[in-house]
Amino acid sequence: MTAAVLTRHLSKTYGEGETAVQALKDVSIEIPRGEFVVLLGASGSGKTTFLNLVGALESPTSGSVEADGQNLEGLDDDEKTTYRLNSVGFIFQLYNLVPTLTALENVQLIAELTGSDAKERSQNVLDEVGLTDRRDYFPGQLSGGQQQRVSIARGLVKNPPLLLADEPTGALDVETGVQILSLLRDTVKGGERSVLTVTHNTDIARIAHRVLELRDGEIVNVRTNHDPAAPATVTW
């Protein structure tokens, strides 16, 4: 089976000369399909940079990334756009919802780019994330947790094989954060989707199938949880 993500000697440097900062250093890792994976590390450890390279939001300084069976290095700008559209769902700490659109319209905006039956698919995915009765609410009428659920629905409506989440619970209270983590982990059921979640919270790592610990741009530890903890046990 093709790996969800495969990197070889992946490095990323920002700036030049004396001001250069090496955000990632020679990272080689294989992430299997169908796992909930946590990228763990302190601020500045390279977690978000890794996520951005996998999502083709940035290009590496050296090395390569393969995701969903595609070598991203060989893609031109149009092909990268197609990859981001069809293969990757993005979820951010800041929900990035359009304030003048309802929850349904925010999701439908993405659905319309990825096939027919956009409204029906959008309604179905909002049902999936527990927002059946909030479809016609605007972001300003929703709680933080509900807005994050809309963001997740927007990422899922494309039915992507890879879901990338950057600190998705960072702005949420504990109870709501646990609900979001549980929802994200449930999306990998069936083994066809992989979720990569960035966090600095070591407790969240206990619920993952696999944990990649980064420090100063390097992966310093990889561990597998054969019996992941329940999201309800997470504290922060």
> What confidence tens digit (pLDDT) does each residue in 171-184 have?
888 888 888 888 88
List the one residue out of 121, 135, 231 whose CA is nearest residue 184: 231
Q: Kindly state the DSSP code that residue 231 receives in the 8-state scheme.
A: G
CATH number given to 5-233: 3.40.50.300
**In the chain, where the domains are located:** 5-233
- pLDDT for 95 beyond 90: no
How much is the average pLDDT of 22-38?
Answer: 95
**β-strand 5-14 against 218-224: which pairing, if any?**
unpaired
Between 103-111 and 144-156, two packed helices, what is the crossing angle to 10 degrees?
A: 20
Banded model confidence at residue 131, pLDDT cuts 50, 70, 90 = very high
- pLDDT above 70 coverage of the chain, percent: 99
- pLDDT at residue 1, rounded to an integer: 62
Cα separation, 133 vs 230, in Å, equals 27
Identify whether the C-beta of residue 138 lies closer than 8 Å to the C-beta of residue 88.
Answer: no
pLDDT of the residue at 236: 61
